[in-house]
Chains A and B, each alone.
Chain A
Amino acid sequence: MARRRDVSTRLTRRNFLALAAAGAAAGTHHLAFPAVVRAQEPIRIGQLIPFTGFLGAIGEYGKQGATLAVEELNEKGGVLGRKIELITEDEANPGVAVQKARKLIEKDRVVAIEGLVSSASCLAVGDEVQRAKILMINAGANSDEIRSKRCHRYVFSTEGCNTQYVSAIGNWLIRERKISRWYFLTSDYAFGHDLLRVARNLLMANKGTEVGSDLAPTGTTDFSQYITKIKAAKPDLVFHNLAGADVTNFLKQYAEAGMTLEVAGGVIDSAYAWPVGESLRGHFPIIWWHELATPGSHAWAARYVKRWGRPPDNQAYGDYVAVHAIAQAVDRAKSTDSAKLVQALEGHTLTAAMDGLKGRPLTFRAWDHQLLQPMYVVGAKDKSKWKDKWDIFEIVSEVPPRGESLEAIAIPKAESQCQLEPLA
């Protein structure tokens, strides 16, 4: 209160005139002193990420990752001499997410939006930013659709797509000869359906057998019925296509029911694997894991622990990369105009300022805007080998291996239905 009063009393006639003059300069002499006037205004980045519902825990990590990226950038003086400001909103559900995106674009005047976790929300917001012609970076939604049938000129993905994830785990399963009699358990929404389709293709292409498949509503807390069905169907492997808190519940109850059948999945979020604890079993593909042995990852994980008191999960990583990608686009375009940012990112390879932390050059494909990158297959570690409670996974495979093209696990151009719109 005191500070606010202070400002108002200091608003003397002279200050007022100076402000008015600056305002007039901003309005009429835009071309004369653009750098001077704009330097006052931060570059705003909007973040849409879930804080509620069955994906809520991921949002907390995502916000911390993005915040850390903004702090790093501002310590180095921001971008184009301007500070960066992050405005975070709860993506909640597709309807709310679109409303929040409008608010970020129209009221907060953000330069770009990043985040999104639910594929359903990401698809809805993607349509919206394309209409508004504002850059969006999808840092957390996996549906292939976002990069294929419903791709957009203004939408980029730093998050991997289901094809990349399933190719990674598939590569490992084939190598370990685990393509056999599978049972699928799938989250009943856009992401799960898409993942099921990709995983089925993998199984069929390698001459495996599907012995059963169930769709479980999102937010399911009791998986005992599904587990009983799995037990009765006697598969060799259970392949889950679940998301969020459902993964925790399923894996916990699976162990609790005394099930020892092999588990694999098309996705895992470490934020939802940690709470499973010692009963965790199985092998999963992940975009990034904090024990990844690259110098960039080590340094960043250490900074994150120092700032937030716990290791980063894969979503913290995702939003961290997305914010840096936006900053690199602004830097490269020397502009905050979304159309120019889009052009700057098409074919852009992440620079040394933040190279994606994977020890390999990562590039946005120009024709579908997917960031090409390796995935990691992680296996649950026995509790006796943990060094702390976060140390639940070990990386068993990097796919594609070093030296091979990152295109190997991405959606092939011939199979993609992506048709990017013209820029204007």
Chain B
Amino acid sequence: MTAEDVTTASGTSALLGGGTADRRVSSRSAFAAIAITGIVLALVPIWTGDSRTLMGVAVGGLLFACYAIAFNVIFGSTGQLFLCVGALAGLGAYSSTIMSDRLGVPFPLAMLLATGFAVIVGGAFSWIAARRSLDTIFTGIVTLTFSLAFANLVLGQGGFTGGETGLVVEAGSDTFLRTQIPPYYLFLALVLVYLVGYVVIHRSHIGWAFRALRDDEVAAELTGVDVARYRIYAGAIGSGMIGFAGALWAHVEGFISPDTFSFGRVDVPVLVMLVFGGIGTLLGPVIGAGVFTYIGEVLASYSQLRLIAEGTLLIVLFLVFPQGLVRAVRSGVDRLRRRGPP
């Protein structure tokens, strides 16, 4: 299991993956890892395909994998803490729904336009953060205020958004998007596309710039990397990925509400999944999403204790694997290998 690491991931902080040796794997093994992930996930409907509820849970898991991969591009690659994943996804979902149901825009086009909105908003945040040289925490707080403002906007503009009761999504209801199993494979394809995109980005000159600015921002700036520009790239690309996933999910699910995209329901889990899986790793977000979706499903029957269990789990995980599961497994493997000749 050493194929996950596409980035060199030697940032300055322990949480962002410091201390890992400079290790680059070939594109071939990264793509092999993606292929294996695809095959494993493609088998899931064998166990869950009979149940409509379980398929819904599985699609939800893939949706969160999409969010986490995109968040990894923004936060893992360039250290911008965007605490507005839910709001960006909601922006995609609501604008796509309103454009297709109210304004009569064909829904594939509406989804693309919605993605465009998310790109603009995310890029604008990165631009502002770079212009005002906000650090991680302040970027987090500014984007958090956007999240809460978005939630209030949705609640306040009930005429357009359905307010607290939510909005039924008509567009897409007469297509395969509302069947039981095909949406799962659609989202699986999206996860794989995002993963391939992640590898391609990190192999290109953009990836080199990401690594340079993550390792040492000042040094990167001095060697001629336009830090602000690459931050904006990461913010715009990642936000577009989030917005598209949110819009697609709206047309698959057929119903959206402010609760679906709230800070507590999206941003907190995504952050937890990514940190658990390993920030800046290729498969960390997918593993994190898988594990937490499974745990959530197991705990669903103990709904009263669920919050307590999740909180305890979160604390234990961060105390035990502050660098993420992928790196913990890898350093364990390395230690086993090093036994023998030094």
Q: Do A and B bind each other?
A: no
Q: What residues of chain B have their CB less than 8 Å away from a CB belonging to chain A?
A: none
